[in-house]
Structure 1
């Protein structure tokens, strides 16, 4: 499959016009000269608002680099990345940090919570760092939505792993971001808890029109998405809509010979 534009559309056709994020012929190389490694090789894709996209591929396929370039955590060697209508190229580190705080949410395998802060304080943190005013009603709505309304005063050590990941999702939602990026968000959880977290992410898309892009190695996790992007050798090898775990697992076994 070539790397021409793949547009991932929201199923109900609603939401703001234009993609939540867009990569245009993005190349990312590490190293120089004959030792340079091309992690992304001309990736072009648009991901529409209100969609859930899983990104999969074998080790070394470029999944993490895709996420880092799309989220403004790393700068492409070539091509362009956009969050909404905002081009990331040319931004200095201060402006990129401000953009990530206000318009991007992150949920990682490690929950990355601050142990000394309560649930409420961890969730509020992105707004405080950005110097934004807290809307108490929005905070309470988010805590209720993720099932933590009665846990706002608890600290991370008093919560289960699944509850800590719910705090991380609430923290990602608090700024009303353009996109939430998940990097193996269920990788440290047991199967039952992972299903609860995936259902919560799915609900964020279906009930509030949130956009989620999740890197995962798990076909079951990918089956919660609207669309799966398969990467191989730094390129988009295939796109699967309405995925099932079995179809995703089967496609993964053939990615090595995609070309």
Structure 2
């Protein structure tokens, strides 16, 4: 499925590095015995136009990594940069503006407003950011994700796969630097999941969007260019050109010891 989300001249040329985390640490709890270190000095660098899956067991820190990298939560220490611009400074208003300019979201449960139509849900981020709503362009994007005949439907009139397509169109309409996807296929049947993953691939490989996807599914991870593995709040491995069976095997051995500071590919280091 071919898409065309980017128009020349719409925004400055992106940085070669879409996302960088430097020694990012996040501790949940007030301290003492109840404190839980969700992220323990995580550093990574992802290039523009890459599709990265993040995997790990429950409690490994993958959801916290996504939330901090996407600006939905603040790390306790460390630096987060999106498209060459630091996100970790500023107040909540400035952070919200940054997210609306640079970041798109795709959630497992879609997060569509039930009273709005497909077209209205898609253009909502533009309205919230105070940007001009180009209805023609929104229709083009919805047509490209297979929803040209659903513009005036509401979410309860759509299948799960169709709702997630709306969520993808909504994430991409603002032309974000990075799209964060949190278990985007977790609530879908096999065919719908495949369609959604192929849409994310097209957005990355054809149109140079950068996607970071948290998933528990080795098959979903196999659609990515690379998989990063987390355990106990630290990056403990990377797999390029992942296959589902190899990903499943690696997940089964995440408890194995990995030397702290072991270098990974493309500027990613485990536990540094």
How far, CA to CA, are the matches of 1:257 and 1:136 in structure 2? 52
Aligned residues: 245
Q: Distance in 2 between matches of 1:18 and 1:192?
A: 34
Is residue 109 of structure 1 aligned with residue 79 of structure 2?
no
- Structure 1 gap segments, 5+ residues each: 1-14
TM-score by length of 1: 0.92
For the pair 1:28 / 2:42, whether they are aligned, the reply is no
| TM-score with structure 2 setting the length | 0.87
* Paired residue secondary structure (2:255): helix
Contact 2:14/2:83, CA 8 A, preserved across alignment: no
How far does residue 33 in structure 1 lie from its aligned partner after superposition?
3.2
| 1:46-71: CA deviation from partner (whole Å, max 9, x where unpaired) | 11111100000011100001001101
| Match of residue 249 from structure 1 | 248
* Secondary structure of the corresponding residue to residue 186 of structure 2: coil
Deviation for aligned residue 1:31: 1.9
Asked whether the 8 Å contact 2:25–2:75 carries over to 1, the reply is yes
Q: Is the 2:22–2:78 contact (alpha carbons within 8 Å) kept by the matching residues of 1? A: yes
Alignment of 1:157-176 (within 5 A): 157-176=156-175
For residues 228-253 of structure 1, give each alpha carbon's deviation from its aligned partner in whole angstroms, at most 9, with x where no partner exists. Answer: 00001111100100000011000000
Q: 1:86 Cα shift? A: 1.7
SS of 2:101's equivalent in the other structure is helix
CA contact (8 A) 2:42 2:235 kept: yes
Asked whether the equivalents of residues 139 and 151 of structure 2 are also in contact (C-alpha less than 8 Å), the reply is: no
Question: What are the ranges of 5 or more consecutive residues in structure 2 without an aligned counterpart?
Answer: 1-12, 259-272
CA apart distance, 1:191: 1.1
Q: Secondary structure at the match of 2:37?
A: strand
Task: Report the 3-state secondary structure (helix = DSSP H, G, I; strand = E; otherwise coil) of the residue aligned with 1:208.
Answer: coil
Q: 2:210 corresponds to which residue?
A: 211
**Bigger shift: 32-41 or 167-176?**
32-41
Distance in 2, Cα, partners of 1:158 & 1:33: 47
Q: RMSD across aligned C-alpha pairs, in angstroms? A: 1.2
Inter-partner Cα distance in structure 1 for 2:251 and 2:53: 13
Q: Matches of residues 167-206 of structure 1 in structure 2 within 5 Å?
A: 167-206=166-205
Using the TM superposition, give the Cα deviation of residue 203 of structure 1 relative to its aligned residue in structure 2, in angstroms: 1.1
The equivalent residue for 2:88 is 89
